[in-house]
Amino acid sequence: MGLALVHTRARAGVRAPAVRVEVHVGGGLPSLTIVGLPQAAVREAKDRVRAAIQCAQFEFPDGRIIVNLAPADLPKSGGRFDLPIALGILAASGQVANEALRDVEFVGELGLTGELRAVDGVLPAAIAAMQVGNRLIVPKDNGSEAALVQSAHVVVARTLNEVCAALAGAKTLPRAEAVDVIERCAPDLRDVRGQAQARRALEIAAAGQHHVLFVGTPGCGKTLLASRLPGLLPEASEAEALESAAVASISGRGVDAASWRLRPYRAPHHSTTAIALIGTDGRPGEVSLAHNGVLFLDELPEWGRHALQMLREPLETGHVIVSRAARQSEYPARFQLVAAMNPCPCGWAGDMGGRCRCNSETINRYRARISGPLLDRIDLHVEVPRLPPEALREDAPRGESSGEVRARVVAARERQIARAGVPNALLDPSATDATCRLAPHDRTLLERAITALDLSARSLHRILRVARTIADLDASDDIATRHVTEAIGYRTLDRGSGATR
């Protein structure tokens, strides 16, 4: 009869709550019972663990074995508990010393031969273990991901035998090693021909972390513009990169340790469901995979209305809460939205070629697929016209490169962080009032525009924040009239404007 305690980590959103694996080996008929709200993959661990222990030349104890995964009200899923369960059985039966399990956490799935296989969600587990000062043992294939947490003490093993030998002091497990980061260049803004207004809007969006909507005919460069935004953004800090990598870690697709410092860029198809966009209680959605990066939604009116309405919470709060009857998961979702749409169902409204045959009622019905509250949350509405053929020649003049624009963006962002601690798009109402003061004549100009365009209070605040960003790009301490008028010009698609009537 024996009792053992092993420490591990579960997965709950981007958190890795501690789990105590309590194993009791007693008398009675041979059996193995796992309790503590295990899901199917955890319940099946008893067969994997039995075969792995026997193949590793250890003795699987006779008698009744009870494995308790505490706390009991926390759902347990996946194969991550195989290794700690196996070590608990070996320790409870006297084949591994209990003292060796103190201050050590274990995560890993076992093959029938005793090999350790990679699991998802290792990065949050490494962060949590580091915060409490514990050592973490993970499968070899998870080593490069766990090593991203530089201050964590993470070692790797290939088999159950290696782990047991290390606990007995007969072997030293190697530290997890990070792979070399590959320098990858984002697509350059120089590839965009013409489109001076759209390029300007993209620079403003990057400087203030504003959301932007491009409206234009097919093939005018909307997708090309959206793909250039990541190259204009300031480099992600280590904390931001770890947050984004943690989301990728729990998504099941893993972390590319060679490019984890790059800001994510997600471009889901318009057939994506609302659940895939927002996430489930077990997996993050596209809005979370784009955390600290860019989410591009092309053909915006073709998206399901329910999916678009689900965007309103993350756009406003920067996180998503997925609630189900048995559990609740919270994921970060502070992304920068870039959307694109055609001006009408056929795509050619307003084009100089006169190809559009859509009447005003059809156009209004098409644009009404995007709700007013969602449009309210998009700071910049930009029309992207079709370019004349001469603008596409190889010898046609090109605009500035991403590096040149990015230098101005970084300088403007630094001004914002020094002044308020956050980019302008994230200012709350009180901070907006404090940092976006206007001269009396500019305030009158803005009020007249709000009345004429029938804009909401949210639109008013967003105009002020965009004007503040434009002033920051000019290195101006005060918001001038030209900054206000330019910001007002980016609200052409609001519900009350003549464009949608």
Within this chain, do residues 160 and 200 fall inside the same structural domain, yes or no? no
How much is the pLDDT for 281? 80
Amino acid at residue number 471: A
Please give the structure tokens belonging to residue 315.
């756009």
Q: Based on the fold, state whether residues 148 and 11 are members of the same structural domain.
A: yes
pLDDT of residue 495: 46
Look at residue 350 in the predicted model and tell me its pLDDT.
80
Segment (H or E) for 451: helix 440-453
Whether residues 160 and 214 fall in one domain = no
Residue 469 lies in domain: 189-500
pLDDT of residue 325: 67
CB 368 within 8 A of CB 301: no
Residue 39: other Cβ atoms inside 10 A: 12
Verify that 360 and 250 share a domain, yes or no.
yes
Q: Is residue 453 part of a domain?
A: yes
**Burial of 107 by CB count in 10 Å (0-12 exposed, 13-18 middle, 19+ buried)?**
buried
Last residue of a domain, one of 167, 198, 214: 167
Pairing type for strands 328-332 and 319-323 reads antiparallel
Per-residue pLDDT at 1: 65
**Final residue of a structural domain among 137, 167, 197:** 167
Separation of CA 166 from chain center:
37
CB 315 within 8 A of CB 308: no
Residue 184 in domain: no
* Nearest partner of 266 among 246, 291, 283, judged by Cα: 291
Domain stop point among 136, 167, 198: 167
- Residue 435: per-residue pLDDT: 93
Beta strands per DSSP E along 302-443: 319-323, 328-332, 336-341, 380-384
Is pTM, for the whole model, over 0.85?
Answer: yes
The tens digit of pLDDT for each residue in 79-114 reads: 999 999 999 999 999 999 999 999 999 999 999 999
Q: Do both 122 and 213 map to the same domain? A: no
For residue 158, tell me if it sits in a domain.
yes
Contact (CB, 8 A) for 9 and 105 = yes
Give φ, ψ of 49 to 5 degrees: -65, -45
List b or e across 440-454, with b for residues whose CB sees 16 or more CB atoms inside 10 angstroms: eebeebbeebbeebe
Distance separating alpha carbons of residues 445 and 440, to the nearest angstrom: 9
For residues 48 and 32, the answer to whether their CB atoms sit within 8 Å is no
Do 204 and 122 fall within a single domain?
Answer: no
Which contiguous run of DSSP H or E holds residue 433? helix 429-435
Quote the tokens at residue 343: 């001006």
* Six token digits for residue 296: 């591009």
Joined together, the tokens standing for residue 64 give 């009744």
pLDDT on residue 309: 92
Task: Find the angle CA(225)-CA(227)-CA(230) to the nearest 5 degrees.
Answer: 110
Q: Where are the alpha helices (DSSP H) in 182-285?
A: 196-208, 222-228, 238-250, 274-278
pLDDT digits (tens, 9 = 90+) for 442-476: 999 999 999 988 888 888 999 999 999 999 999 99
Using only C-alpha atoms, what is the Rg of the chain?
A: 28
Within this chain, do residues 148 and 195 fall inside the same structural domain, yes or no? Answer: no
137 and 263: one domain?
no
Are residues 354 and 309 located together in one domain of the fold? yes
- Strand order, beta sheet including 64-70: 31-35, 64-70, 18-26, 2-9, 104-106, 135-139, 154-157
Same domain, yes or no: 71 and 11: yes
**Claim to verify: residue 80 and residue 196 sit in the same structural domain:** no
Tokens of 428: 């709350």
Instruction: Give the C-alpha separation, 267 to 290, whole Å.
Output: 9
Nearest CA-CA partner of 264 in 277, 276, 274, 255: 255
Examine residue 92 and state whether it is found in any structural domain, yes or no: yes
Q: pLDDT value at position 500? A: 36
- Cα 101 to Cα 95: distance, rounded to the nearest angstrom: 12
Instruction: Report the CATH number at residue 396.
Output: 3.40.50.300
Which ranges in 215-341 belong to alpha helices (H)? 222-228, 238-250, 274-278, 286-289, 305-309, 312-317
Q: Answer for the pair 138, 108: CB distance below 8 angstroms, yes or no.
A: yes
- Residue closest to 13 by CA, chosen among 124, 151, 96, 155: 124
Tell whether 214 is covered by a domain.
yes
Q: Compute the distance between CA of residue 278 and CA of residue 135 in angstroms, rounded to an integer.
A: 34
> Would you state the structure tokens that stand for residue 313, as one six-digit string?
């919470």
179 part of a folded domain: no
pLDDT given for residue 319 in this prediction:
93
Sign of CA dihedral 449, 451, 452, 453: positive
Neighbours of 311 (CB within 10 A): 25
CB 264 within 8 A of CB 245: no
| Residue 3, amino acid | L
* 180 within some domain: no
CATH of the domain at 6: 3.30.230.10
Which residues of the chain are under the pLDDT cut of 50? Answer: 495-501
Same domain, residue pair 257 and 298: yes
Q: Please count the structural domains in the chain.
A: 2
Residue 487 lies in a domain: yes
